[in-house]
Each structure stands twice: as structure tokens, then as C-alpha cells.
Amino acid sequence: MTPQESREFTERLEKAALLLLETEMYRKPDDLARRFGLPVPVVRYWWRKTDQITRPVDQSQLSPREVKSIRKASQTLEGWEKVKRYRPECGAKLTGGRRCKRSVVIRQPEGWSLGALADRCRLHGGLSKRPRKKAKDDEE
Ligand SMILES: [Zn+2]
């Protein structure tokens, strides 16, 4: 997953989470975070950035369009579990021409604006707060 893809993926998670909160499918950011295994501070932050006004839907009278968008949002968020488990390899160059096989790190909540997944493992700078420079790829 490139940094760009990680950011886009994270934006999709955010949009999906906000839809489910706005429609009151989940009443609190914390409930939603727990249900989908997302970091609570991240979901709280996403929600706080909005006007926080809900427009609850009547779950027994959803239009087909609402059903579809709610289902899609849930699926997007369920996808996070899978992404968490099967993170891409770090791929940093090691001596001897091999590449690092460790999973890339999941960023700390404050780093999620850069994308939930870093492009490197813990050892190779995945937790750094700033995006890595491209040139660094070839040093390692
Ligand atoms: Zn690594």
C-alpha cells in the first residue's frame, strides 16, 4: 500500500464511520470504534470535526438506497480488520539485497491524517511523524 493508498483508504474509513454516526446506526463514536476495532481517539476526532448533527434513520423503514449505503459503510469498516491483520511487508532494503519482511506499522492516532498504515515497519521508521523521504529507500 503506497502512502497515497493508505491515505485514501483511511479517508474511506472516515467517511463510512461518519455515515454510520450521522444516521445513528451507532450512537457514540466509542461504540463504533469498538465494534470495528478502530482506535477510539481517531473516531472521536473524526466526529468532532463534523457539525455533530445526526439525522437518525428509522431502521424499519429504510429506503433501498439507505440500506445500500449503510451496508456499504459497514463493509468498508469491516475491511479494516482484514487490513490490520494482513498488512503489507515493509520492504526496506537490507544488507545482502534482501528486503524486510516485517509488517508495516499501524500509525498512532495522531498520525492517521497521513494514513492509518505507515509504509515501513517499526524498525525502519514506520512510526516517524513525518512522511519518509523517497531517497531513504535506497540507503537501507
Ligand atoms: Zn522493516
What pLDDT, in 10s, does the model give residues 59-97?
889 999 999 999 999 999 999 999 999 999 999 999 999
Residue 31 lies in a domain: yes
Task: Give 123 Cα–ligand 1 centroid separation in angstroms.
Answer: 5
Distance 77 CA to ligand 1 centre (A): 27
Q: How far apart are alpha carbons 49 and 81 in whole angstroms?
A: 24
Domain enclosing residue 10, as ranges: 3-85
Residue 104 lies in a domain: no
Does residue 71 lie in a domain region?
Answer: yes
Q: Report whether 138 contacts 26 (CB < 8 A).
A: no
What's this model's pTM, rounded to 2 decimal places?
0.88
Instruction: Please give the distance, rounded to the nearest whole angstrom, from the Cα atom of residue 110 to the centre of ligand 1.
Output: 21
Task: Give the distance (Å) from ligand 1 centre to CA of residue 45.
Answer: 29
Number of domains comprising the chain: 1
Contact 9, 83 (CB under 8 A): yes
Centroid of ligand 1 to alpha carbon of 89 (angstroms): 8
Backbone angles phi, psi at 111, to 5 degrees: -100, 0
In a domain, 130, yes or no: no
Distance, C-alpha 72 to centroid of its chain: 16
- Rounded CA-CA distance 131/119 in Å is 9
Per-residue HEC secondary structure of 11-59 comes to HHHHHHHHHHHHCCCCCCHHHHHHHHCCCHHHHHHHHHCCCCCCCCCCC
In one letter, which amino acid is 87?
Answer: R
At 97-131, the pLDDT tens digits run 999 999 999 999 999 999 999 999 999 999 887 66
Cα(119) to centroid(ligand 1), Å: 9
